[in-house]
């Protein structure tokens, strides 16, 4: 059906390749279009009012203090949950992946106002020079040394971050903050 539409839009010959003329006509494949709309629909549940009736059917952590309905997903057995084919099931999964957001245009995030701009002399960065094993080993030793020295001095803070996490579906980076106060 989409090919028919693309032929009509472009005015191409009827034997023209479907994918090519769909791309020229600016139509995305129907499956991807449906996936896009479905994803948007799931995300919409994160913004609905706390008084909306659909909250009754969501899991307790997303229900916004509403009492659970008798057919809510939390009241189903594991077997029933596995056999359930409902959009609410996908919505619950999608809402689990939504985290708190921050305002990227907040005044304190603008260049010149950040902590690193005000106290650049008091902050030191330790980044690996390359990903080769030798450099990483050297980098690890440097980090251990820096961490030990920060533990001995008062009023120092150590922040360790790793943005290379690929396997987890929930987190893409991890940060550990160590504050040493008397």
Distance in angstroms (rounded) separating the CA atoms of residues 41 and 103: 23
Q: How far is the CB of 45 from another protein (least distance, A)?
A: 8
Examine residue 182 and tell whether it contacts another protein (CB under 8 A). no
Examine residue 37 and tell whether it contacts another protein (CB under 8 A). no
Distance in angstroms (rounded) separating the CA atoms of residues 174 and 16: 50
Which part of the chain contacts another protein (CB under 8 A), choosing from 20-28, 123-131, 134-142, 146-154?
A: 20-28
Examine residue 60 and tell whether it contacts another protein (CB under 8 A). no
Examine residue 71 and tell whether it contacts another protein (CB under 8 A). yes
Distance in angstroms (rounded) separating the CA atoms of residues 179 and 162: 18
Number of residues that bind another protein (CB under 8 A): 28
CB within 8 Å of 143: residues ≥ 6 apart: 126, 160
Examine residue 8 and tell whether it contacts another protein (CB under 8 A). yes
Give SS3 for 113.
Answer: coil
Whether 97 and 170 have beta carbons less than 8 Å apart is answered as yes
Interface residue with another protein, options 16, 43, 54, 143 (CB under 8 A) = 54
| Distance from the first to the final alpha carbon of the chain | 72
Site residues (vs another protein, CB under 8 A): 1-2, 4-5, 8-11, 25-27, 48, 52-54, 57, 70-71, 73, 76, 80, 83-88, 91
């Amino acid at each position: 059906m989409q090919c028919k539409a693309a032929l009509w839009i472009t005015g191409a010959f009827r034997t023209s390749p479907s994918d090519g003329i769909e791309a020229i006509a600016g139509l995305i494949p129907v499956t991807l279009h449906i996936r896009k709309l479905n994803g948007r629909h799931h995300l919409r549940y994160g913004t609905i009012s706390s008084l909306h009736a659909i909250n009754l059917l969501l899991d307790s952590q997303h229900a916004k203090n509403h009492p659970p309905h008798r057919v809510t997903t939390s009241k189903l057995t594991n077997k029933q949950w596995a056999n359930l084919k409902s959009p609410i099931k996908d919505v619950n999964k999608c809402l689990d992946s939504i985290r708190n957001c921050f305002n990227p245009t907040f005044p304190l995030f603008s260049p010149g106002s950040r902590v690193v701009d005000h106290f650049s002399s008091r902050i030191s960065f330790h980044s690996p020079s390359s990903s080769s094993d030798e450099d990483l080993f050297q980098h690890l030793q440097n980090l251990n040394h820096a961490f030990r020295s920060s533990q001995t001095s008062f009023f120092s803070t150590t922040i360790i971050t790793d943005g290379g996490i690929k396997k987890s579906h929930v987190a893409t980076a991890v940060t550990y903050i160590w504050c040493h106060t008397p």
